[in-house]
Structure 1
Amino acid sequence: MTAIIRSGWPRLGRRSVALIACGALAAGGLTTAGVAMLQPETATASSHREAPLISGQPQFDNTDVYAFVSPDHPDTTTLVANWLPFQEPGGGPNFYTFANDARYDIHIDSDGDAQDDLLYRFTFKDHRKNDLTFLYNTGVVESLDDPDLNFTQTYDIELLRLEHNKVVSEHKVAEGLPVAPSNVGKASMPDYQKLRDQAVRKIPGGLKAFAGQADDPFFLDLRVFDLLYGGDLSEVGNDTLGGYNVNTIALQVPNSYIRQSHKQPVVGIYSTTARKNAYGDWTQVSRLGMPLVNEVVNPVKDKDKFNASSPANDGDFLKNVTEPELPKLIDSIYKIKAPAEPRNDLVSVFLTGVEELNQPPGVTASEMLRLNTSIKPTSKPKRLGVLDGDNAGFPNGRRLTDDVLDIALQVVEGELVGSKNDLGDAVDANDKEFGTTFPYVALPAAGSDTRAAANSTKKNATGLTGGASSLTGSWDDNTVMYASAAAGVLLAGLGMVWLRSRRRTARRSWMG
């Protein structure tokens, strides 16, 4: 693996810049495809509210997928998928639930042929003790079976095995597992950690499962959508998702269950959501593998088509990867020369996996997270992953701590083809520390907390470098960051405004 670091994945410096890269990943790849055997009808895009239709169906909106060898149990792989973005912690009285008319699926391709071999399916049921009150809880909640927790959910897990996109077996892995509730507030749930711990369940066969609310683990500055970073270029380096929660599904599985063999340890992973349509048929409405890609890599005309297709058909969108729009736009604004096309380096990173790192033999190009389960986790993960010599990190799977925005932007701007750069968004870590044990995601913000987005500022922007760019030097907190403004114009012009439609409520139950 050291050859990869020395040739294709050079070690970079640590400087980050106030150039938001929410489109960076998008320029580099495609979001993952739905399973063909579901034969989905017209679908909508996934990630954080980036497409018009899915933004109106938040319970079905898959925001991020993570896959990594478990740091405390390296003989297992942890899969994390999140839904229902931008949860205001105090958004009661109904708070945030998984849909009970949805299939939340995590797909695994064990041999690189762009077809599912395993599918873990999660389905949810609602339970309400007293429908004569509007309260989520009618008193202090001390356990998941507390009679004062008025509304609860349970879920089942099924394992489907497939061959040539046909289901050959179905197995009920678990039934009636409890969902960790929304964190109403400190008065209602004074020991939320206890509730979280009770929601982590061991499953026969060496598996662990969790479903419930969590802090949104994705960290980045999205205020590029607030044109010109607040109008005066002073808004940079804030974790836009700080203080917001998501609904998390996490599954820890023995490596031997999901990989083909010790000799072929690379697996492909992505997630989808399906719901019943008016005719009673299941329709795929969300899908995700690589983070933040469908926003700008595909033009609007391709978004629904892409989400309704299978991984085997991702070649239909290959031109969007080999001839990406974003580098050309950055070239016109920053005078950073766009790398030569076709961008085969991006095909390797986002569609096939990197040779000798996470590319399965005979791979069919298709977009999904690819994880080499034989690479052991490190006790000191580096936020830039493989770019900084840490082969256990992105794009070899995705850990919670990986700074995927900075990594993707640097790769899109030609890091692998000789255009050295340290581009980034000046947000280098999550606003909350992650856990050291399963499910690893941080506890959700409580409804009684003041949302701390303004306090998540990362005052560490130091400069912008980028090949032929003349934008070099160092910036302090009071310097006008004109590069960020240009990115704001670029992405806002792509129709990416989705923060403005955020519902900001602060209601809470009487007991909250």
Structure 2
Amino acid sequence: MTAISRTGAGRRGVATLICGALAAGGLAAAGAAALAPGAAYASSHREAPLISGTPQYDNTDVYAFVSPDKPDSTTIIANWIPFEEPAGGPNFFQFAEDAQYDLHIDNNGDAKDDLIFRYTFNTHTKNKKTFLYNTGVVESLDDPDLNITQTYDLELIKLKNKRVEHETKLADDVPVAPSNVGKASMPYYSKLRDQAIYKLPNDAKTFAGQADDPFFLDLRVFDLLYGGDLSEVGNDTLKGYNVNSIALQVPTDLIAESKHQPIVGIWSTTQRRNAQGYYEQVSRLGNPLVNEVVNPIKDKDKFNASEPKDDAQFLKNVTNPELPKLIEAIYKIKAPAEPRNDLVDVFLKGVKGLNQPPYVTPSEELRLNTSIKPSMHPKRLGVLDGDNAGFPNGRRLTDDVIDASLQVVEGELVGSKNDLGDAVDKNDKSFEKYFPYVALPTEGSRGKTAKSSADTKSALGDGLTGATSENTPLIAASAGAGAAGILLIGGGLMWWRRMRRNY
């Protein structure tokens, strides 16, 4: 099989409602397209029972692409903590301190990682006597009013046959960009983002912090495949939600085996420290949309804890997937014949002649040919529309992986030409042109910008820091008002109990 090339003419020739209707039934099947036999990583927005209860450890998506502004480098972006409500304070969103957040590189196609970039985080609190995330307007990452901060260390681990050969500390105590509390607290959030971009040796860069969730799709499919009513497709379910992002840009020759073998496999994992003090893998991700809609419940947690070399244990879930049968039953869209061997080369090995490594061991990884130059005008359907710099050759932020995967899983490569899609073709926010590329996070409050940190602290009173000031009566008055409220509530409870006894 060679790299796929198709013109984009007429791809959206069907009316939006009809196209969306077909996509709605097929949206769930998009997961089957992204997952080939034995796949082991997921776009895990709450995809498995155990991880859904611990969002700090939950991968959401992985992106990997040749940097458009630095084509001799490769950028990897991995996200955690799905569905971050921007106003979710006072305890905003942090990376876990008892976790290892890893980016894995397989540079020879043997289904084993050769390099690991490991991020570990620490949390720092300046004032534990306040409930506030920030005690005034935050103007820099080292601002005294940024009460709760995080830093991270970054290590490069080189392996051979799963054994550690060498470990190198690349960075210590790098500041994390905070959650975007709101305009009054962080009026110039883009400055905080810029300050969190850290330069590494060899012109590499790293970033960790909050960002807009770059994944765009209509997730209402889980309402019984839209309940057979397709009139409401086209809503970006993730619009307005944030994630915690890790972004890394490195010289391509650092991760590729050689110029003659430029194809790398990429995935991310989270290891959490258990009660015995050891780290165990609890989440993992490579290609998008896998564990949510392909694996049955009995396999989901096992799937998150497994390794690429063991992917064959999930083979039947994909060669004989459940979802195409459901789609055929509900929407009368005929499912392609099983077993689905047409998906193997594209999503399990890579596309031959494009991003398939020589002597590849079949396993589910996000495979990127780092020798393919970035497109001047990226097409959202990537390889399927003749743009070989896009998905499934890696994954760019703008790639419409739902539509591309759906069209393949519904038979695009076996004669069933189609223009299926979920009617969500782009992210609600524009991406940045430079590293770390992800869009700024949505702010938690849309309030007016405060004049200055000093003005805000003066208005609040120095009681925030435990010092005395002429302004402390404001805090005292607030405390008094709170006490009065407690007395009123207490009186109300006593009255309610008396009334209850009377009845």
TM-score, normalised to structure 2's length? 0.84
* Distance across 2 between alignment mates of 1:328 and 1:267: 34
Aligned pairs for 1:314-463 within 5 A: 314-449=311-446
Greater CA radius of gyration, 1 or 2? 2
For 1:339-385, what per-residue CA distance to the aligned partner results, in whole angstroms no more than 9, with x for missing partners?
22222221112111010010000000000100000000012100000
Of residues 157, 168, 189, the one that matches 2:154 is 157
Of residues 60, 63, 68, the one that matches 2:65 is 68
| Deviant stretches of 4+, over 6 Å | none
* Distance across 1 between alignment mates of 2:225 and 2:445: 32
| Alignment pair present for 1:4 and 2:23 | no
One-letter code of the match for 1:24? A
* Distance across 2 between alignment mates of 1:346 and 1:46: 18
* Distance across 1 between alignment mates of 2:126 and 2:335: 60
- The alpha-carbon deviation at position 279 of structure 1 amounts to 1.1
- The alpha-carbon deviation at position 410 of structure 1 amounts to 0.5
| Alignment pair present for 1:24 and 2:23 | no
Which residue number corresponds to residue 199 of structure 1?
196
* Distance across 2 between alignment mates of 1:429 and 1:440: 15
* Distance across 2 between alignment mates of 1:359 and 1:203: 30
* Distance across 2 between alignment mates of 1:407 and 1:298: 20
Contact 1:12/1:388, CA 8 A, preserved across alignment: no
- The alpha-carbon deviation at position 332 of structure 1 amounts to 2.4
One-letter code of the match for 2:397? L
Aligned pairs for 1:27-426 within 5 A: 27-28=32-33, 29=35, 33=40, 47-226=44-223, 229=226, 233-426=230-423
- The alpha-carbon deviation at position 52 of structure 1 amounts to 1.8
Contact 1:5/1:11, CA 8 A, preserved across alignment: no
Alignment CA distance shift 1:449-1:208 (3 Å): same
* Distance across 2 between alignment mates of 1:348 and 1:123: 35
- The alpha-carbon deviation at position 295 of structure 1 amounts to 1.1
* Distance across 1 between alignment mates of 2:433 and 2:47: 31
Structure 1: which 5+ residue stretches go unaligned? 35-44, 451-509
Alignment CA distance shift 1:309-1:421 (3 Å): same
Question: Secondary structure of 2:158's match?
Answer: strand
Question: Secondary structure of 1:328's match?
Answer: helix
Question: Secondary structure of 1:248's match?
Answer: strand
Alignment CA distance shift 1:323-1:297 (3 Å): same
- The alpha-carbon deviation at position 398 of structure 1 amounts to 0.4
Structure 2: which 5+ residue stretches go unaligned? 448-477, 479-503
Contact 1:138/1:150, CA 8 A, preserved across alignment: yes
- The alpha-carbon deviation at position 231 of structure 1 amounts to 9.2
* Distance across 2 between alignment mates of 1:231 and 1:87: 29
* Distance across 1 between alignment mates of 2:419 and 2:277: 50
Alignment CA distance shift 1:226-1:173 (3 Å): same
* Distance across 1 between alignment mates of 2:255 and 2:133: 38
For 1:451-486, what per-residue CA distance to the aligned partner results, in whole angstroms no more than 9, with x for missing partners?
xxxxxxxxxxxxxxxxxxxxxxxxxxxxxxxxxxxx
Question: Secondary structure of 1:327's match?
Answer: helix
Alignment CA distance shift 1:112-1:391 (3 Å): same
* Distance across 2 between alignment mates of 1:350 and 1:432: 28
RMSD: 2.0
Contact 1:199/1:211, CA 8 A, preserved across alignment: yes
Contact 2:115/2:158, CA 8 A, preserved across alignment: yes
* Distance across 2 between alignment mates of 1:273 and 1:61: 7
Which residue number corresponds to residue 482 of structure 1?
none
- The alpha-carbon deviation at position 392 of structure 1 amounts to 0.4
Contact 1:12/1:422, CA 8 A, preserved across alignment: no
Contact 1:115/1:312, CA 8 A, preserved across alignment: yes
Which residue number corresponds to residue 39 of structure 1?
none
Alignment CA distance shift 1:220-1:241 (3 Å): same
Which residue number corresponds to residue 42 of structure 1?
none
* Distance across 2 between alignment mates of 1:203 and 1:394: 28
Alignment CA distance shift 1:228-1:328 (3 Å): closer
Contact 1:108/1:117, CA 8 A, preserved across alignment: yes
* Distance across 2 between alignment mates of 1:104 and 1:141: 27
* Distance across 2 between alignment mates of 1:74 and 1:176: 29
- The alpha-carbon deviation at position 230 of structure 1 amounts to 8.6
Contact 2:216/2:237, CA 8 A, preserved across alignment: yes
Contact 1:218/1:430, CA 8 A, preserved across alignment: yes
Q: Which has the higher helix share?
A: 2
